[in-house]
Amino acid sequence: MSDAHDNAKGQPTIGEAALFGLCPRCGAKTMFAGITRFADKCSSCGLDYSRFNVGDGPAAFLTMIVGALVVIGALWLQLSFEPPWWVHVILWVPITTGGVILGLRLCKAWLLASEFSRRAEEHRHEHKAEE
């Protein structure tokens, strides 16, 4: 019990890691190498991010959620104010793009931090060596 407590000392919470792109081990802002692309490893503590299997699940789920919210918003705007079509383009294209990118970044970071905190990894070499 004390070992788990000692390991968590100085580590960001899952929410902090997801929101700010922090390494779940050391708290450095090194999780992402691009807008939504993970870095290969933390340049501060060396945590290998490729060990974790975040996958493409968040992308499909998030795109459907953002799409549904945009459609609801666009229908409400059209039925309430009847703006010209170009207002929809100017409004909804950036909102959709930003929502998907920001949401994907948050979801991927949250999943990676969750996997780290639960010690879930894509491949474990010590089990393969024992078999």
Each residue's pLDDT expressed in tens, for the chain with a length of 131 residues: 333 433 456 789 999 999 999 999 999 999 999 999 999 999 999 999 998 888 887 888 899 999 999 999 999 999 999 999 999 999 999 999 999 999 999 999 999 999 999 987 655 555 444 44
CA distances to 5, 67, 85 from 27, in Å: 16, 33, 45
Identify which of 18, 126, 111 has the alpha carbon closest to the alpha carbon of residue 58: 111
For the CA atoms of 24, 20, 44, 124, what is the dihedral angle to 10 degrees?
Answer: 30
CA distances to 10, 32, 58, 69, 125 from 98, in Å: 31, 17, 15, 13, 39
Residue 125: what pLDDT?
Answer: 54
